[in-house]
A = this chain, B = another copy of it.
């Protein structure tokens, strides 16, 4: 196992005033900081785990959702193994990414990308309602058949980190740089990570051996269908999407894109969990009680596509 950074660019800052800051006032230490100079910015932190007996034919890359970090794929809020461990044990080389700005990728206060707008952190009610755990956080009442480990709600919300809205292009660039390093790969993306996969894919379709798009809110554009139609794509959709206008729209987009790829003779598969009788999954399905059941369905699809 190991870790490295992918992508990023050089930022040069000039003409800004020198600041004196008190570091750790209790020990009475001051540091003079001159913000002028060069920085590396907009890179992505990547942590990898390689199995002893590799069975996956390509590296397996995990791209998390908005406001989250690579933590999303690790231990679940209630302490069970996540998808990282599931696929690693099956013999996949696993690469867990923190998107630009998130987690160990860091961000740069002097970079315009981050200084032009205040970032947002999801409050607890948002993380409950927006991600379809239940209709109202006030009651804490989850939807019927909910799979979410509500007893570990505090642990769940602790994993959210501030997000900016103007960083999509930087994330796409860093993930592209990562694919240049790893070579052709299989990507599992969630939400924002799945949506942005399509932006990376159109610039380097040959680097995608397959994409598992878990509840993206955006898909491939119509003009890209021919370019990407031969890349195996598995769409994974949870429950309760029709209860929220935004998710209803995302669901419709996914199904439309899936049908267009199929109509073009491409390789697209829809894993619509409630339609298969798997009820109760929210947007956070990779950390819910049936997370291994869903992972098993993904692994079957990998096998069917000769990826392992």
Q: Which residues of B lie under 8 Å from residue A141 when comparing CB positions? A: none
A127 smallest CB distance to B (angstroms): 10
Of all chain B residues, which has the CB nearest A172? B26
Proximity string of chain A (13-31) to chain B, C-beta cutoff 8 Å, 1 when within and 0 when not: 1000001011111110100
Decide if B43 touches A158 in the complex (CB within 8 Å).
Answer: yes
Residue A37, interface by CB 8 Å: yes
A98 at the interface (CB under 8 A from B): yes
Nearest CB on B from A22, distance (A) = 5
Asked if A74 is an interface residue, CB under 8 A from chain B, the answer is yes
Please count how many residues in chain A sit with their CB below 8 Å of the partner chain's CB atoms.
Answer: 73
Is there a chain B Cβ closer than 8 Å to A274's Cβ? Answer: no
Which residues of chain B come closer than 8 Å to A144, judged between CB atoms? none
Task: Kindly report which residue of chain B lies nearest to residue A119, judged by CB atoms.
Answer: B109
B162 and A24 within 8 A (CB): no
Closest residue of B by beta carbon distance from A13: B123
* A interface SS class: mixed
Closest chain-B Cβ to A204's Cβ sits at a distance in Å of 18
A29: nearest chain-B partner, CB-CB: B217
Distance to closest chain B CB from A136 (angstroms) = 12
Give the shortest distance, in Å, between A164 (CB) and chain B (any CB): 9
**CB-CB under 8 A for A166 and B2, given A38-B125, A121-B39:** no
Who on chain B is nearest to A217 by CB? B29
| A residues whose Cβ falls under 8 Å from a Cβ of B | 1-5, 8, 13, 19, 21-27, 29, 33-40, 43, 45, 47, 66, 69-71, 74-75, 79, 81, 85, 98, 103-104, 106-110, 117-126, 137, 154-155, 157-162, 165-166, 168, 192, 195-196, 199, 217-218, 246
List, sorted by A's number, 9 A–B pairs whose CB atoms are closer than 8 Å: A3-B71, A3-B75, A4-B79, A4-B155, A24-B217, A29-B217, A37-B123, A107-B161, A108-B162
